[in-house]
A and B are shown apart, each in its own frame.
Chain A
Amino acid sequence: MLALFVRDLKLAFRSGGGFGLALAFFLIVVMFVPFGVGSDLTLLTRIAPGILWIGALLACLLSLDRIFQLDFEDGTLDVLATSPLPLSGITAAKAAAHWITTGLPLTIAAVPLGYLLNLSELAYPWLIASLAIGTPALSFIGAFGAAVTVGVKRGGLLLSLLVLPLYIPTLIFGAVTVTKSVDGLNPVPSLILLAGLTMFSFAIMPFASALALKANLKG
């Protein structure tokens, strides 16, 4: 499984690997917000947590279809499915590699972008914590969506429709954690719920993805 994880990281950083796509999208979306809504600093402070979370979520969505599609197209997925690795382990390794190449850079990039949106100083630790804890769930849920749509050519639309509703709880608790810290309320309960969602997706999604892959490889 480690070999697969390392290979996925390597591929992401090689040419055409798609690393940077999510990050660039996140930077662009967030940087455009002040131009769109104007330079009212109190307004920006209010909407900053939501914008940062929505931006991160959409950026994450962009690279989901790569998780299985490329391996499906060149026959690697067939061979992996017949290899000693369990399918649930394969999906977990690939989701983890996806998080390292998207969720983690997004979490780090959120800090300078917070400055652009005049995010309250109190909120930074909570922004980093909520993204670091919440984005792994986006990768694991997204891997499930990618597994369901793996046989579909240009399945990006279907994938988004499938995954976005599943992302809503993570978005709500992630953004609320940051908003509460801005308002001087206790953000810990929502952060704990967010961590619960992530744990839940760790526990369920690899197995759900394995079932979906199995059904799709039958063809």
Chain B
Amino acid sequence: MRIKATNIRCTRGARQVLQDVNFSLSAKDCLILRGPNGVGKSTLLRVLAGLSQPASGTLELDHDDVAYSGHLDAVKFQLTVAENLSFWAGVYGTDTAAVVIDRFGLRQLTDRHAANLSAGQKRRLGLARLTLSNRKIWLMDEPTTSLDAEHTQLIASSISDHCGQGGIAVLSTHLDLDIPTAKILDLVRFAPKKHTDTSIFLEGSY
């Protein structure tokens, strides 16, 4: 199981955001995507998840291994925490809902409707889905948004555990997560070169 990206070019709408992206990940690797807002972290994660196609280049990745968590939590407000989890357990065909509830500190919230959760609690519920899915490759778009320090640490350690058990994680974050094995990929390197054709009339004005 591995991910190998060769010369990937990503576009968003008509705009080119990333070009010549190359990386290769194998079991136990964790890759953290860095870069300023709008550099293309989410776009790259969506391409890896198979939600959109790279404009060119090749991506070697088995999409059946992928669990994706976007910047939205994919939590249904009208359902309780337990119902949300058992729905995803049904979708992924797993039966680890009870384990996940304890792992992510959701035990006291199981009967509460997701509409009454705080933003951080919803986030945890959304991330619990990744563990629930039993899938090897985790793709996470800013997983630490709205989490407190304690739970940021919890997410970091569950990512470490996942990688330690032979999984792969690719995530974008602006925080320094405590994941010892993580490699950092700064996406600014892959931003398309700007061709600023200065008008000859303006040249020398500055």
Contacts and interface: CB of A to CB of B under 8 A. Distances in A.
Interface in B47-85: 49-53, 63-64, 66-79, 83
A79 B69 CA distance: 7
A14 B78 contact: yes
A75 B72 contact: yes
Given A10-B83, A74-B73, A218-B52, A82 B66 contact: yes
Contact of A11 (B13, B53, B76): B76
Given A74-B73, A74-B76, A79-B129, A3 B91 contact: yes
Interface residues of A, number: 25
A76 B87 CA distance: 11
A161 B129 CA distance: 38
A80 interface: yes
B140 to A, nearest CB: 12
Nearest to B73: A75
A2 B90 contact: yes
A78 B91 CA distance: 13
B51 A74 contact: no
A154 interface: no
Contacts of A76: 74, 76
Nearest to A82: B68
Contacts of A14: 78-79
Interface residues of B, number: 35
Nearest to A79: B74
Nearest to B93: A84
A193 interface: no
Given A2-B90, A78-B51, A82-B66, A7 B74 contact: no
Interface in B121-140: 126, 129, 133
A3 B87 contact: yes
B92 interface: yes
B79 A7 contact: yes
B92 A75 contact: no
19 contacts: A3-B90, A7-B79, A7-B83, A7-B90, A11-B79, A16-B78, A17-B78, A74-B73, A74-B74, A74-B76, A75-B73, A76-B74, A76-B76, A78-B70, A82-B67, A82-B68, A83-B91, A85-B91, A219-B13
Interface of B: 13, 46, 49-53, 63-64, 66-79, 83, 86-93, 126, 129, 133
Given A3-B87, A10-B78, A219-B13, 14 more contacts: A4-B90, A7-B87, A14-B78, A74-B74, A75-B70, A75-B72, A75-B73, A75-B74, A78-B49, A78-B74, A79-B74, A79-B129, A85-B91, A217-B51
